[in-house]
Amino acid sequence: MKRLTLLLFASINFMQYVKAQIPSDPLFTKEDSVRAVHGHQPGRGFSIVERKEGSLVFSAYASVRYLNQSGLDDTYTDYFGRTSVIKKRNDIQFQKVMLYFKGWLFDPKFRYLFYVWTSNTSQGQAAQVVVAGNLQYQFNKYLDLGVGIGGLPTNRSVIGNFPAWLRQDTRTLAEEFFRGSFTTGLWLQGELSDGLFYKTMLGNNLSQLGIDAGQLDKKFDSWSTALWWTTNGYGRMEPYGDYEKHEKPATTLGASFTSSSENRQSQPGSEAPENSQIRLSDGTGLFSLNAFNNGSNVTDAKYHMSSFNGGIKYRGFSFDADYFVRWVTDLKGTGSIPVEKLNDNGFSLQASGMIVDRKLQGYGTYSWINGQYGDPTEFTLGLNWFPFKTKAFRVNGEYINVKNSPVGYLSYPTVVGANGSVFMLNLELFY
């Protein structure tokens, strides 16, 4: 059991959710260990090799999605009066597959993770298949050093709680608009005191998926830091919802700050599987040709973003709030760029309740963006059904009502400019 626990120390941000569920993990509270009695814990996988010189565990994630966008308007007109046709979908996709090979070598403190990550809705796009990983060394509970591909801790949903979200593989509209993504870099993380955690990372850019080394600038200054405090077994990686039904109110409070120099080359394509393009609030990519409809083209910019989050869980109910502030400065390019900087802010709210203990959960979310070029909103209602009474498998159905979405790509349920309603039905396995 001890060796299996040490195996699970190997994780990028996404897999750190698993760490919050392991009872003998020294980074977590006694309340966390109580939650581990609820059947198989997502991400534990299968132990393949356990030897004195190392170990190997295999785990897998897979999802299937039916998506119906028929309720969206046929066209969208942006802030500058340009009209585009909305390409609506009504299809089923074997959405995503992730295969993880993780463990330790030579010393249980030296961990590795190698993984294959696919986004099957993006067949033919850059980074549709990713083979990557990272190495980490845990000096003690206060200091863990990692190198490789990881998530910039720009906001709560990127610090490692995927797929422990209320929505299946979908962030709220505001999170998706403001956040950073995954890149190659160095990071430090740990627990400063009881329940107080941190992660700080220096990376190549906001999102390196689909970006080759020749497209990166030479500044290496994408820096992001997060600090968060949890109580009563909320979970280190701040998973959403109260499936475990905390008997005492469990809370979290956190903040992040991110800064990054970006250019046109270092931004992923509009349909990239993890699209974090810097956009105007009407959905126009900042680095798109003629983005401001006056003949100018932005080639370089400086991205800054702060996020603040809080949440509470109690007896099967949860409520979470996130607030975002983004400002983009140092705009450079050709022609007369009409603004010196961009200032946008917004928030998202999420609430959930267990309707049937360990079987059925209902939730709702709301997002709003206060932007210079429009004020998009999103409202969702959904159900999570856990037929085997474990979070390792769920069926998720969700209704989305969106107004002028500024975000969207093939693996996200809405498209840029979406105005109207969307329905999706998902199956998710995380073993």
Per-residue pLDDT averaged across 59-86, rounded?
96
3-state secondary structure the chain: CHHHHHHCCCCCHHHHHHHCCCCCCCCCCHHHHHHCCCCCCCCCCEEEEEECCEEEEEEEEEEEEEEEEEEECCEEECCCCCEEECCCCEEEEEEEEEEEEEEEECEEEEEEEEEEEEEHHHCCCCCCEEEEEEEEEEEECCEEEEEEEEECCCCHHHCCCCCCCCCCCCCCHHHHHHCCCEEEEEEEEEEEECCEEEEEEEECCCCCCCCCHHHCCCCCCEEEEEEEEECCCCCCCCCCCCCCCCCCCEEEEEEEEEEEEEECCCCCCCCCCCCCCCECCCCCECCCCCCCCCCCEEEEEEEEEEEEEEEEEECCEEEEEEEEEEEEEEEEEECCCCCCCEEEEEEEEEEEEEEECCCEEEEEEEEEEEECCECCEEEEEEEEECCCCCCCEEEEEEEEEEECCCCCCCCCCCCCCCCEEEEEEEEEEEC
Residue 57 has a pLDDT of 95
pLDDT > 50? residue 355: yes
Average pLDDT value for the chain: 88
Per-residue pLDDT averaged across 132-152, rounded?
95
pLDDT > 50? residue 33: no
The CATH class given to the 2-430 domain equals mainly beta
pLDDT in tens, 249-292: 999 999 999 999 999 877 776 666 666 679 999 999 999 999 99
The residue extents of the domains of the chain are 2-430
pLDDT in tens, 108-139: 999 999 999 888 887 777 667 888 899 999 99
